[in-house]
Amino acid sequence: MNAVADLDMPPWTPPAESLRLRFCGMDFASPIVLLSGCVGFGEEYTRVAGFSNRDVGAVCLKGTTGSNRLGNKPHRVYETPMGMLNAIGLQNPGVEAVVSKILPALDFTETRFIANASGSTIEEYVEVVSRFDDSAIDAIEINISCPNVKEGGVTFGNDPDMSARVVAACRKATSKPIITKLSPNQTSIQDNARRCIEAGTDAFAVINTLMGMAVDVRTRTAMIGNRQGGLSGPAIKPIALLKVAQVYEVAKPHNVPIIGQGGIVNANDALEFLIAGATAVGVGTALFYDPLICPKINAGIADYLVANNMKSVSELTGTLKGTHGHW
């Protein structure tokens, strides 16, 4: 880890034992997962004094494609009220470079690392997943729901048949845990989840960003060079919570865990997602204005467990009351 060492920082304190959990056979030190695209390939936040990958259960690496991509034209990020639009466009050096140059530099003793596989065709997804299968990576997130690229992503993620085809093809290409990232921009996220479970997914990430845009009224042009981008941050939290609860209803009978994500900025937000059905929680946009937010969220969850006489964070998952009706 390359955190700044010459500052007078308090000693690092490990997350409470009550926060440890198992996720798809992996040991997580806490329920927090750093989300894809928010920490580069795992090295960006280690440069921040006081940050430690040991505070989180897993780090999800930046979206990776078969060949290198330059991404979308600028502007690619725009701040919105209670959120952020981004349209990076999956800029990355390609899967071979990630596996051969980036993964060897990561410290797998600190946390679990999850690859994010993206593609424009099913064949490209299989290529990326197959290459990660022959690597040290702990699990693979299948990004079938990226709203800021013009091909692939949204088309796959919003069609249950296409989603199932991608997952089934990836399932044949790897023995590592597969986490399918579901799109909120579809008619029925429950139908999609069912099809993905049948196709062999081991877990879900719920949700990806929502499609959105912003306009410059002076020039009457889109603020984002790609016109549309993915909306993240607190503005989408109520939607994300609903989607987690809906997917949990489908996933629970099959023991398929969920990473709940979308607008989490404090411990209370994380607790809501856990209660709604998440086994782990994703933190992303909040890292841009508070890189040291993870220990604060961990502490808040641990305090809640003590106050409610719970020994493990896993006891919280799916404890939402009054859910006897249908969505």
Residue 276: exposure state from Cβ atoms within 10 A (0-12, 13-18, ≥19): buried
Q: Cα–Cα–Cα angle for 233, 145, 129, nearest 5°?
A: 120
Nearest to 290 by CA among 272, 313, 267: 267
User: What span, in angstroms and rounded, lies between the C-alpha atoms of 327 and 323?
Assistant: 9
**Are 60 and 281 in contact, with CB atoms under 8 Å apart?**
no
The structure tokens listed for 230 are: 């993915």
Select which of 24, 38, 60, 146 is catalytic.
146
Is the preceding omega at residue 275 within 30 degrees of 0, hence cis? no
**Are 2 and 51 in contact, with CB atoms under 8 Å apart?**
no
- Whether residue 146 lies in the annotated active site: yes
Specify which residues 231 forms β-bridges with.
Answer: 85, 210
The structure tokens listed for 26 are: 């992996």
Nearest to 287 by CA among 55, 18, 113, 16: 55
Sheet holding 77-80, edge to edge: 77-80, 83-86, 229-232, 210-212
DSSP-derived secondary structure for 197-230: HHHT--EEEE--PEEE--EETTTTEESSTTS-EE
Sign of CA dihedral 269, 274, 277, 283: positive
Q: Residue 67 gets which letter from DSSP? A: S
**Are 261 and 240 in contact, with CB atoms under 8 Å apart?**
yes
Nearest to 295 by CA among 37, 9, 40: 9
Catalytic residues: 146
